[in-house]
Amino acid sequence: MNVHEYQAKQIFREFGIPVPNGKMCTRDDSVREAAQELGGDTWVVKAQVHAGGRGKGGGVRVVRSLEEAEKAADDILNMRLVTAQTGEEGREVRKVLVEEGVAIQKELYLSMLVDRASNAPVIICSEAGGMEIEEVAAETPEKVLRETVEPNLGLRTYQTRRIAQALGLSGQTVRQAGKMLSNLYRLFQETDASMVEINPLVVTESGDLIALDAKLQFEDNALFRHDEIVALRDIDEEDPLEAQAAELNLSYIRLDGNIGCMVNGAGLAMATMDLIQYVGGSPANFLDVGGGASAASVEKAFRIILADPRVKAILINIFGGIVRCDRVAQGVAEAAGNVDLKVPVVVRLEGTNAEEAREILEASTIDFVVAANLREAAEKVVSAM
């Protein structure tokens, strides 16, 4: 689960990690008053969306007067923010963060995530932080340090020293880094975060360390023990179909293609997507209706696929093991009859009662394309488009 920068910074504050003072504003709030309350003579207005690269996309503006702050917020709240992470269609911006400006001496990079290769948290840092970090990592990987934390021992002092050195810190800033790292590690563990990223982490002109940006991601499977984090969820930032599917307990992920897929079992779903690609098609989604898919869940899944306007054909691939094929066919036929079906539907049902299922589909008023095996189904759905 993702949260906004302003929410991540609030959590940082609670764990003693320094961040600039700021205030989140929607279209109904007065940005002028927020800036005035914060005081000073420089402010930063930042788009709050669940996507990075806002700076380059025009979603972060440094301003020097209350008028400018108001104008910047107005511009950002009325733009569709396009960044490297939003896709061409961009994102509507519903919230901005107004912050006191910080005089930057140096921009650093710091992140912490779960490394699957070492089964441990790893801290990644670089002296060359800021908006070009991806290029730094690709072109000069020697400027990036990875420090693996042994979870049973926790973060050791020699490791924080090594990190501070890689960040090029000196004097009292090294001590600040030590404190920040141990607080960050505590945050990471106590909130069941899967990723924390601070880019940039800055050394201010007065030599203090402060998190200028904050990105936090939480492990979905641990959310059951974090009501306070679940409460931060912003449905507006989630794909509406994915949110709807999650409520129905369906594993659904939107992809870029145009063939809607409905499959039972994650492995079979992956294989189906591979095969669609192999025969020249492109899946519009991953959808696992579950090993024991009922007629009702099949109908719901079918509706979610149809609600995606990019879908030009549908492939239903169900193996009847726990579930019986005839029940699935019934669900598919009913769902198809209840909606205004404008795209071809290819169905491959194999397993228990497959023969009865085929009869149900053939008797239906809908013109289903029935396929005998998976390869044929993939070929038929591609040519049906």
Q: E strands, the chain, where?
A: 22-25, 43-47, 60-63, 80-81, 91-92, 96-100, 104-115, 120-126, 144-148, 193-204, 209-211, 215-218, 251-254, 259-263, 285-288, 313-320, 345-351, 369-370
Least Å from the CB of residue 195 to ligand GDP: 14
Residue 101: name its binding partner from ligand GDP, Mn ion, none (Cβ under 5 to 8 Å by kind).
ligand GDP
Angstrom CA distances, 378 to 215, 286, 312, 367, 370, stand at 40, 15, 14, 17, 11
Asked if 160 and 177 count as a contact pair (C-beta separation under 8 A), the reply is yes
Number of helices and strands (H, E) in the chain?
13, 18
Question: Which range, of 53-61, 146-154, 167-175, 336-344, touches ligand GDP by CB under 6 A?
Answer: 53-61
301, 262 Cβ separation under 8 angstroms = yes
**What's 3's DSSP letter?**
-
- Cβ distance 262 to 349 under 8 Å? no
CB 70 within 8 A of CB 32: yes
The pair of three-digit structure tokens given for residue 258, joined into one six-digit string: 């145009």
Q: Is 264 among the residues that bind Mn ion (CB under 5 A)?
A: no
Nearest to ligand GDP of 86, 297 (CB atom): 86
By annotation, the residues acting in catalysis are: 109, 197
Site for Mn ion in 188-207 (CB under 5 A): 199
Considering only the stretches 67-75, 97-105, 188-196, 345-353, report the one whose residues sit in contact with ligand GDP under the rule CB under 6 A. 97-105
The residue within the footprint of ligand GDP, chosen from 38, 66, 104, 241 (CB under 6 A), is: 104
In the list 213, 288, 326, 379, the residue contacting Mn ion (rule: CB under 5 A) is 213
Q: How far apart are CA 308 and CA 43, in angstroms?
A: 41
Query: Which of 99/213 has CB closer to Mn ion?
Result: 213
**Site residue total, Mn ion (CB under 5 A):** 2
Angstrom distance (rounded) from CA 164 to CA 182: 12
With CB under 6 A as the contact rule, the residue among 22, 121, 178, 200 that binds ligand GDP is 200
Using CB atoms, what's the residue nearest to Mn ion? 213
332: tokens are 């598919």
Asked if 101 touches ligand GDP (CB under 6 A), the answer is yes
Nearer to ligand GDP, 23 or 303 (CB): 23
Letters for 210-249 (x = contact with ligand GDP by CB under 6 A, - = none) are --xx------------------------------------
**Which residue lies nearest ligand GDP, judged by its C-beta?**
55
Residue 131 near ligand GDP by CB under 6 A: yes
* Interface segment toward Mn ion; rule CB under 5 A; list 42-50, 118-126, 208-216, 290-298: 208-216
Strand partners of residue 285:
254
Binding residues (CB under 6 A) for ligand GDP: these are: 44, 46, 52-55, 60, 62, 101-102, 104, 107, 130-131, 199-200, 212-213
Binding residues (CB under 5 A) for Mn ion: these are: 199, 213
